[in-house]
Structure 1
Amino acid sequence: MGKILVIADQKDSAIATGRGLELAARLGYSVDVYAFVYAPLGRLKQTAAERNALKQRLLEDREAEVQARIDKLSREGQKVKLKVVWQKDVAPWVVGHCGKTAYEMVVKTGRRSESIANTSTDWQLLRECPAPVLIVAKKKWRRTQPVMAALDLSSRIAAKKQLNATILSQAIALAEAMDEQLHIICAVEVPTLLEDLDLIDSRSYVAEAKQAMAPHIKALARQFDLPLKAFVVKRGPVEKVITSQAASMRAQMVVMGTVGRKGVRAKLIGNTAERVLGQLKTDVLALKP
């Protein structure tokens, strides 16, 4: 049986905890909930014993708080384990833990902001975590329904072709578990610079791109027993196509891939999944090659 790792929300919030428990129950997975607490106790003018006692109290208070949420939100008979960790930097700890323990996904409530000087926990997990990462939206569209899979059918790289199959497989499983429809979106992005310089005819470029995608769509349709009409191909920048399509259908979850760029290159270029997260009012499950 698979496992989901849930990063417990801070006080007065149970978004990720509730979503993680719900998905685990629907998919038949067990749940490991990790709650984090930290305070710079070394600055206090207390004895080592007094600081240790305070640390233990903080750990116990956090455990009681999160356990109360789990008791309220979990289903009868659901397998849930809670562990409270004294840790300031959550992302590196989770990345290291997932490197040693296999999880079907990591579930975290999104904090969808980033500056050039500060990389949030969300972005660190998307770039570095070996497990799929589900960033749960705080504010969602009303009456969300379908699950949407976003595929990159323009790439000739074998790893990305395999990732398309993984995305589709995961999206199908989630749609079935949640008893929702599945929608599949693919983007044809016209190189803006070449178009501006009149070096390509955009209509011909899109037509040729769609023609090149057709065999891949047919192969995936056969592999997963899906109708061809389930695959929608639209022209535009990838993140705009994904966000506009998800918004129009009010998707409750978008399943997509991320290349997981790191460092300066990621900050200057950005990852599609990260740009999408900044615009969507829905959950995003990001998978790596």
Structure 2
Amino acid sequence: MGKILIVADKGKSCVATSRGLELAAKLGYDAEVVAFVYAPLNQIEGGKDAQAAVRQQLLDKRREQLAERIDAFATGGQKVALKVVWMKIVHPWIVKRSSSQFAAVVKTSHSTGSLGYTSTDWHVLRECPVPVLMVAEKKWSRTRPVMAALDLGTRKRSKQQLNSRVLGAAKALAEALGVELKIMSAIDIPSVLADLDLVDPISYTKKHRQEMLPHLKALAKEHDIPEKAFITKRGPVAKVITSQAAKARAQIVVMGTVARQGLSAKLIGNTAETVLQDLHTDVLAIKPES
């Protein structure tokens, strides 16, 4: 049986906890919920003993809050472990903890980033070795479809394998939730070519759809999905994903993510991070197998 690591938000209204427990139950997984607590205690009078007492009080209060929330949302017989950890910078703990025994990490999305600053979300997306489900605070109907976003135009073996992982995960989620599976891929015309009118968009799209067919057919056969279920749209990848997800009101978008490194990651981020800025729905980000 698999296990899901759920990262609880501060306060009582953590949507990741309820959503993570729901998905864990429907997938037949156990769950571990972790909450982080931290406050500067240096100004508390009474020395280390007084500071330790306040620290324990804060930990106990958070544990009590989270236990109540777990009791409210866990299904009968569901195995749920609870950890409350005193820590200020939390992503190294999440990454290390998820490195063994967990099938996925579930966290509420607060993705923001700027030059010189990288949010916890971005760190978790880039560094966690397992799939990461970023849960949106504002959600669409739970009866709506699961959408798989694929890169059918790739010729790289690693990305083709990633497409298969994405599709497999999306299909499993759709079946577990009892909803429709939608599959889409973008055909992105390079902006330099488009701006200079060096390509005819219709011919370019037609040509690339033909080039996608072998990979599309292989995925359809591997996952026992009709070829007509695969939809391609012309446009920038992030824009196509967000617009198609909004049109379908998808409850979860499943997509692959390959993190950039260094300064370019802070300035640009990857497609999953761009999508997270614009989508008001859950995003399951899956990395290539290492």
The reply to whether TM is greater than 0.5 is: yes
Q: Which amino acid aligns with 2:52?
A: N
Q: Indicate if the aligned counterparts of 2:143 and 2:179 stay in contact, CA closer than 8 A.
A: no
- What SS does the corresponding residue of 1:45 show, helix, strand or coil? coil
Offset at residue 128 of structure 1 (A): 1.0
* Alpha-carbon distance in 1 for matches of 2:143, 2:90: 30
Match of 1:276 in 2: 275
Offset at residue 44 of structure 1 (A): 2.7
Q: Indicate if the aligned counterparts of 1:143 and 1:250 stay in contact, CA closer than 8 A.
A: no
| Superposed CA offset, 1:54-83 (max 9, x none) | 111111111111001001111110000001
Q: Indicate if the aligned counterparts of 2:153 and 2:187 stay in contact, CA closer than 8 A.
A: yes
- What SS does the corresponding residue of 1:248 show, helix, strand or coil? helix
State the identity as a percent: 57
Q: Indicate if the aligned counterparts of 1:254 and 1:283 stay in contact, CA closer than 8 A.
A: yes
1:27 and 2:27 equivalent?
yes
What stretches of structure 1 of length at least 5 have no aligned partner? none
Match of 1:189 in 2: 188
* Alpha-carbon distance in 1 for matches of 2:42, 2:129: 33
Closer, same or farther in 2 for the Cα pair 1:271/1:144, shift >3 Å? farther
* Alpha-carbon distance in 2 for matches of 1:50, 1:78: 38
Match of 1:37 in 2: 37
Higher mean alpha-carbon deviation, 28-37 vs 117-126, is at 117-126
Q: Which amino acid aligns with 1:10?
A: K
- What SS does the corresponding residue of 1:41 show, helix, strand or coil? coil
1:77 and 2:95 equivalent?
no
Higher mean alpha-carbon deviation, 138-147 vs 25-34, is at 138-147
Offset at residue 144 of structure 1 (A): 5.3
Match of 1:117 in 2: 116
Q: Indicate if the aligned counterparts of 2:117 and 2:266 stay in contact, CA closer than 8 A.
A: no
Offset at residue 48 of structure 1 (A): 1.1
Q: Which amino acid aligns with 1:156?
A: R
1:18 and 2:13 equivalent?
no
Q: Indicate if the aligned counterparts of 2:44 and 2:50 stay in contact, CA closer than 8 A.
A: no
Question: Equivalent residues in 2 for 1:136-175 (5 A)?
Answer: 136-142=135-141, 145-175=144-174
* Alpha-carbon distance in 1 for matches of 2:186, 2:164: 16
Question: Equivalent residues in 2 for 1:1-289 (5 A)?
Answer: 1-99=1-99, 101-142=100-141, 145-289=144-288
Q: Indicate if the aligned counterparts of 2:12 and 2:69 stay in contact, CA closer than 8 A.
A: no
* Alpha-carbon distance in 2 for matches of 1:230, 1:32: 35
Q: Indicate if the aligned counterparts of 1:102 and 1:131 stay in contact, CA closer than 8 A.
A: no
Q: Indicate if the aligned counterparts of 1:127 and 1:262 stay in contact, CA closer than 8 A.
A: no
- What SS does the corresponding residue of 2:63 show, helix, strand or coil? helix
* Alpha-carbon distance in 2 for matches of 1:181, 1:152: 20
What stretches of structure 2 of length at least 5 have no aligned partner? none
Offset at residue 38 of structure 1 (A): 0.7
- What SS does the corresponding residue of 2:124 show, helix, strand or coil? helix
- What SS does the corresponding residue of 1:185 show, helix, strand or coil? strand
Closer, same or farther in 2 for the Cα pair 1:143/1:82, shift >3 Å? closer
Q: Which amino acid aligns with 1:71?
A: D
- What SS does the corresponding residue of 1:278 show, helix, strand or coil? helix
- What SS does the corresponding residue of 1:284 show, helix, strand or coil? strand
Number of aligned positions between the proteins: 288
* Alpha-carbon distance in 2 for matches of 1:177, 1:144: 12
Q: Indicate if the aligned counterparts of 2:146 and 2:253 stay in contact, CA closer than 8 A.
A: yes
| Superposed CA offset, 1:163-209 (max 9, x none) | 00000000010000000000000110001101222333322221111
User: RMSD in angstroms over aligned alpha carbons?
Assistant: 1.3
Q: Which amino acid aligns with 2:174?
A: A
* Alpha-carbon distance in 1 for matches of 2:177, 2:272: 23
* Alpha-carbon distance in 2 for matches of 1:180, 1:211: 30
- What SS does the corresponding residue of 2:114 show, helix, strand or coil? coil
Higher mean alpha-carbon deviation, 37-46 vs 52-61, is at 37-46
* Alpha-carbon distance in 1 for matches of 2:257, 2:282: 15
